[in-house]
Amino acid sequence: MRATAEPAIAVTRQLGRFIATSSWLDIPVDVRREARRTLVHWIACAIGGSTHDTVERAVRAQLAMSNHGNARLFGRRERLVPASAALVNGIASHVLDFDDTQLGATNVHPTGPVASALFALAEIRPLSGAALAHALVLGIEVECRLANAVFRHANRGWHVTGAVGSLGAAAACAKALALEEQQIAFALGTAATQVVGLREMFGSMCKSLHTGRAADNGLTAAMLAAEGYTSADAAVEGPQGYAQVLNGATDLAGVVGALGQRYEISRLSYKPYACGVVMHPTIEACLRAREARPDLSARATAITLRVHPDVLSATGKQSPRTGLETKFSVYHAAAVALVHGIAGEDAFSDAMAVDPHVSAVRGRVRAQPDEAVRKDEVHATFSLPGETIEEHIDHVVGSVTRPMTDADLERKFESLAGEVLGASRCGRLLERCRGFEEISDAREVLAAATA
């Protein structure tokens, strides 16, 4: 069973060396800026998701095991032990499907596992804003490079965010703990052997668990490595290692090519709509079409979407029954945008899943996969009696080509966090986040972000 050829590239070791030697001073200004943007945005998502039923249940389960923790939760009053806080904050930040996405070879959501682990670590180790931001950049780097190399050509069925998240969180925590190269490599290995994330879970509460458990796994891996806990030398690249066993991947050159010369965080995008990014072009097309013709949903006899093939593999549920399931239905996304003109959290609720108008329109939507359509693109055709309307979205808002502006992000922050914290506390938190890199203790943000 053991393959005989040894891999040429010592990926685990090279990542360890890169992380150990990286200095905040090396990080380009635009990369620092994107670290701040994704952090602000992620905090908004974590607070916005913090009152979700999924999070309530996770908190109750954790409290049933231990109510002696001191680590804070975004948007909530309870405190948990650090690993559990990482778990719950991770769940909260992903449960709305509203967090950041890297539109690379996969649609990975890299900030969640890393930031969740780092804020939990900040509760037990002094961590400045700059140190946290630096660790965040490195953790995201590890996640995106693994996503793009290991899951590039095919995916056996892993939720990539979970599958790479443990390693990203471990990398970040190991840096924040100032571990040495060998320990960082062992932290990566210890994370690599704790995998989360089957795609079968999409539409259930376990999808967001992946982000949280990856954070917990990575934090735990780094804490173990700090105590000299050992792992395999070739954890990522070995014949029975992470890349090979999870996804049969052998070409790992991309994981370590040009490390420190380009940063993957620069390719992050943020979502204007509260669902998987693959459905966004469809939603923008439907919202635009409805703006021009408010009676469209009542009159259209057929709605035909030409979409990137990922749209159907990830969001092909034709008859979603719950709010969570609607997030995996491009048919629902199109219908709810056309009928009600909405695409926020309220569009993907249990109520909307069974809304009779939405469900009637849903049945008229057809989606055709087309390799020639890019991920940020859609061709939508609305057939009405006697006429046909075409809507082409070339680059959807929130894509790398048409990014959300800082002002867009702050509006999203106010909408998500304001509802939970109230406008005045939300404003103070946002102010603090704007100067995140100058904060001497990252816990200042946590203190301002609890309910």
**Minimum CB–partner distance for residue 213 and a second copy (Å):** 6
Q: Should residue 318 be labelled a site residue for a second copy when binding is judged by CB under 8 A? A: no
Give the Cβ contact number of residue 363 at 10 Å. 12
Residue 413 φ/ψ, nearest 5 degrees: -60, -50
Residue 79: its H or E element? strand 79-80
Q: Cα-atom radius of gyration of the chain, to the nearest Å?
A: 22
Q: Which is nearer to a second copy, 369 or 427 (CB)?
A: 369
Q: Please give the structure tokens belonging to residue 382.
A: 């609305």
Give the x/- contact pattern for a second copy in 276-315, rule: CB under 8 A: -------------------------------------x--
Among 240, 318, 319, 401, binds a second copy (CB under 8 A): 240
Q: Which range of residues in 16-24, 233-241, 331-339, 360-368 is near a second copy by CB under 8 A?
A: 233-241
Q: Which is nearer to a second copy, 6 or 291 (CB)?
A: 6
Q: Which range of residues in 29-37, 79-87, 106-114, 291-299 is near a second copy by CB under 8 A?
A: 79-87
Among 40, 235, 255, 433, binds a second copy (CB under 8 A): 235
**Minimum CB–partner distance for residue 90 and a second copy (Å):** 13
Q: Which is nearer to a second copy, 124 or 298 (CB)?
A: 124
**Minimum CB–partner distance for residue 353 and a second copy (Å):** 14
Q: Should residue 367 be labelled a site residue for a second copy when binding is judged by CB under 8 A? A: no
Q: Which is nearer to a second copy, 61 or 298 (CB)?
A: 61
Q: Should residue 128 be labelled a site residue for a second copy when binding is judged by CB under 8 A? A: no
* DSSP one-letter string for 160-173: HHHHHHHHHHHHHH
**Minimum CB–partner distance for residue 59 and a second copy (Å):** 9
The sign of the CA dihedral 415, 55, 131, 124 is positive
- The DSSP symbol for 344 reads S
The letter for the amino acid at 270 is: Y
Q: Which is nearer to a second copy, 240 or 440 (CB)?
A: 240
**Minimum CB–partner distance for residue 157 and a second copy (Å):** 4
- Are the C-beta atoms of 435 and 130 separated by less than 8 Å? no
- Are the C-beta atoms of 195 and 153 separated by less than 8 Å? no
Give the Cβ contact number of residue 53 at 10 Å. 12
Task: Give buried/exposed letters for 90-106 (b at 16+ CB in 10 A, else e).
Answer: bbbbbbbbbbbbbbbbb
Q: Please give the structure tokens belonging to residue 447.
A: 């203190």
- Are the C-beta atoms of 281 and 350 separated by less than 8 Å? no
Q: Should residue 154 be labelled a site residue for a second copy when binding is judged by CB under 8 A? A: yes
Among 227, 295, 371, 387, binds a second copy (CB under 8 A): 227
**Minimum CB–partner distance for residue 73 and a second copy (Å):** 15
Residues with Cβ within 8 Å of 96's Cβ and at least 6 positions away in sequence, in order, are 45, 48, 49, 52, 274, 345, 416
Give the Cβ contact number of residue 402 at 10 Å. 15
Q: Which range of residues in 28-36, 151-159, 271-279, 380-388 is near a second copy by CB under 8 A?
A: 151-159
Cα–Cα–Cα angle for 125, 130, 136, rounded to 5 degrees: 80
Among 25, 228, 292, 295, binds a second copy (CB under 8 A): 228
How far is residue 393's CA from residue 285's CA, in Å, rounded to a whole number? Answer: 6
Q: Which is nearer to a second copy, 182 or 415 (CB)?
A: 182
Q: How far is CA 242 from CA 12, 22, 189, in A?
A: 10, 24, 9
The SS3 assignment for 225 reads: helix
Q: Should residue 126 be labelled a site residue for a second copy when binding is judged by CB under 8 A? A: no
User: Considering only residues 158-217, where is the footprint of a second copy by CB under 8 A?
Assistant: 158, 162, 189-190, 192-206, 209-210, 213
Q: Which is nearer to a second copy, 84 or 297 (CB)?
A: 84
Q: Which residues bind a second copy (CB under 8 A)?
A: 1-2, 54, 57-58, 60-62, 64-66, 68-70, 81-84, 124, 154-158, 162, 189-190, 192-206, 209-210, 213, 219-220, 223-224, 226-232, 234-235, 238-242, 244-245, 248, 313, 316, 324
